[in-house]
A and B are shown apart, each in its own frame.
Chain A
């Protein structure tokens, strides 16, 4: 036996050494960096709600990219870069809760940006409370999220009970529609949307010809056939983009075209008009943000500037969910500035951050942001005013109320092309 190192052992040792260096280098690099603001994003990147989930990610990412271009979030005159970590909720509440816990424990995030669906948001809220991590939800619209009075969660978009009902009255006033058929998918957000529509019908004294909920997997021919037999002036549908596309396809195949069709949510997303083409024209929707609104802020500029930036970055016009998610970052920026403590934030600092978030009162390109401090919309930003939009030549155009309208509402709708 000799003490010489054989060629094989030398090569083996070199390979191990190189491997260790390669794996270890990022850690060395991270440690050498300035403190950063570690933000977690829990959203549905796969599963049934992957469409909206990815829209939320786009919104959050765009803010992170833009603020990092300036060097990061300014706190006490210093700038701290933002680092984003992602957790896929897989469109399931339980997976969302797991992902949030992973982000908090493993990735040590100081703040979460909230999920796309209200169901996942409801599951993530207790995790935020357990670890004392604030969350800004750029998407959740179910009123049930805020009924629980979540201490750590803040919602950017007004709850659907605030928007859906009032839109029925606005449309009835603009069109003279007298009867309404309301249908919706039997899942939390869509059901509450349909119920909001129904309440709006009752409040405005219109005739409700039908209120029906259906499973997300159902074939829509029975639903559309029933609506066709009732023949209401306005059909209001609560659902997400896939159901809305299927609804239009089924209505067209059964030769059913009511005088007006109102949908929420998904109709304002560019993919809706892209996929349906001319058949999307005339469909009404509700939006709390459009690019022509007169709001602005220092990071994104005007609503129109944001629209152009998002189009250039992602290749499609943003809808209000993307806008609200980007504005979530502006809310964090503002709260962090007022907190005045550099990252990393411990539990006590995070509790102070929650208090700072509660005192938010800013204007952004998305509109005014201030969270309710009491009542059924606790921590929900109900400042934005909903407008009724109509798909016109593939574009989302505000049509009501009259002070926000850019063009006249098309009523009754012409037959399908």
Chain B
């Protein structure tokens, strides 16, 4: 039997974070590229922690929607930032799990002593999206490029048809099922009998909690204004269940459809970054340690042929991570469950409460149980802030670390993020 226990390593500290306010697609950041936003976010983090001209161990970030020219997005952003040009960087991509996975990767290298400090981040734009030429036209253009004679070139050009000139716009859809993520989530919502009202209620809570957090200055040292925007422009402090009840469903079909633009996240632009380090590095720099990243786990489900919901993977990752750490689902002071859709949060929690699901699917003797809702997404989450795919993880890690720090030592926080492709990332932070 494999030894499933963790090797003796140090825990990576979360020093702090920075993000730009998130902006709904084609609004404040319509002109900004991923590199612009990531560079500005890194520079904000550098300014906050006095790292101008310094070399950190590694910068790890990514984008879900990425231009081919941005193959080295993170390194290019580092080179344009005020960090030392000798700071190594690499890109990762795990759909909406990118930001959290980047933090885990940085934390692991710190834990192993391979680096002393690192920055994890993510960025996405749905405004400055990478259009691609269709596959047919792409093939024609490649043959055109390879053509040696005028005749060959003309032959290649003759293969172009008007219909091929329409570019392919990236869609928030699963390549293997052709379904939009929201339509997948709607199937899961129906399976778990998640009602419209509870979804709207969760969305309203998210808006109110985040607005209140802004009001009391919680985000003052987490957010740097960008391109004239000082707060997430998806945030609706005056959101109410009555208003949300008037919206028509946009995902799912017929009578039972419950998912609206109000209880689903909109397409969003934004970027975030988190500074991680060894305790020693932070102490030497006189920087705070807000929390430590204790552990993380990924999981994936077969949503194509296996019958599991696209966004249910975190439900599977959670018991593995809890068991490894000897913890129960109730042993936490804060829960951050990414609100891709209100129904996703509710389905996931319902699954953990369900004896049959926990026995049949998770192989547990008893259900993981319920979560104290007053500890869930207490400063709002993606329904309020918006969800620039790869930037969400960094937003959550930095915010949760600060919440834990404010609550005092020995507090625990749990993160759960679902991702396209039927994947999920969960993590534990501790102050």
Q: Do A and B come from the same complex?
A: no
Instruction: List residues of chain A with CB under 8 Å of any chain B CB.
Output: none
Which residues of B are interface residues toward A (Cβ below 8 A)?
A: none
